[in-house]
Amino acid sequence: MFIAEDQIRSLLSYEALIPAIRQALADFSAGRVDQPPRTILRAGNVDDRDDGWFAVMPVIHGDVMGVKAVTFFPGNSGLGLPTHMAVVELLSRSTGQPLAIMDGRLITEMRTAAVSAVALDALAPAGVSSLGILGAGVQARSHLKALRLVRPALNDIRIWSRTRESADRLAAETRAATGIAVRSAEIDDAASAQVVLTVTTSPEPVLCGRWLRPDALILAVGAVGATRRELDDEAVQTSWIVAESRNASEREAGDIVLSGARVQCEIGEILASPAAFSVPRGRRILFKSVGMAIEDLVAAHLVWQAMQ
């Protein structure tokens, strides 16, 4: 059975996905997820920074198994194609029987935003109201939905993009859909918000630490790969760093690798034991997301269950 993106869109909701992701992240940090490091191969389609990659991500959790094959081709943005494309296979853990093959693009989009929403809810103090977004593409749109679901008080939204027209378009769309204060902004203005989300494909820093509040929460989602980064050294090195996976972030995340920083704890550790991993208040916090197979498996399982 193949499940296409349009069908997934009708079956998968953030209301169901966010709590499922929250539990999955706690399970991962508690050792209840069998997930080896992803295998990544460079496509070699070009010689520069637009060189694409192909990754395979297997995982076992609960009563299901899964494998995601995902590609990232930065140059696709200039061709009118998604930069990320994927397929997810879901299998029974008890028999190994394939249950479904699903288009993985929307699953990747939604689970990424759901992870950030879980992190925002766990790490941000009560009452935060301003959100700066660096980037105006697919992930910016999905994150606006997911983040405001867990923190509806986010009503001061500032959007920056390398292309001002993209920021203006997203701001207008969001204002029309929500009625809240959303505007395109200069990059330092967006970066001065209480919560700063980076969702660009930039290979080099776009967020400077000097623009950030001393108590900012940074949700760093873009910059896929150990040689690409969205944040400069100051932004990373002055932050208390949380990750989905300590191992994966210190191996795959350019923001962490290139700055020489270390991860303090995993978000799943905080979710499972808030008292043991107390979130510091009044200082800068960075949550770095690289994406994990368990997140794709959880989303695919929800889609499968919704079809039964």
Residues 104, 33: Cα–Cα separation, whole Å: 20
| pTM: predicted TM-score of the whole model, two decimal places | 0.95
Residues 227, 165: Cα–Cα separation, whole Å: 28
Per-residue pLDDT tens digits for 146-187: 999 999 999 999 999 999 999 999 999 999 999 999 999 999
DSSP-assigned beta bridge partners for residue 98: 91
114-292 folds as Rossmann fold (3.40.50)
Q: Which two tokens stand for residue 261?
A: 């920083």
Write down the domain spans for the chain.
2-107+294-307, 114-292
Place 223 in a pLDDT band, splitting at 50, 70 and 90: confident
Q: State whether CATH 3.20.20.140 applies to domain 2-107+294-307.
A: no
Per-residue pLDDT tens digits for 70-113: 998 988 888 889 888 999 999 999 999 999 999 999 999 999 99
The pLDDT of residue 43:
87
The pLDDT of residue 49:
74
Residues contacting residue 110 through CB under 8 Å, at least 6 positions apart? 12, 14, 17, 142, 146, 299
Per-residue pLDDT tens digits for 54-64: 999 999 999 99
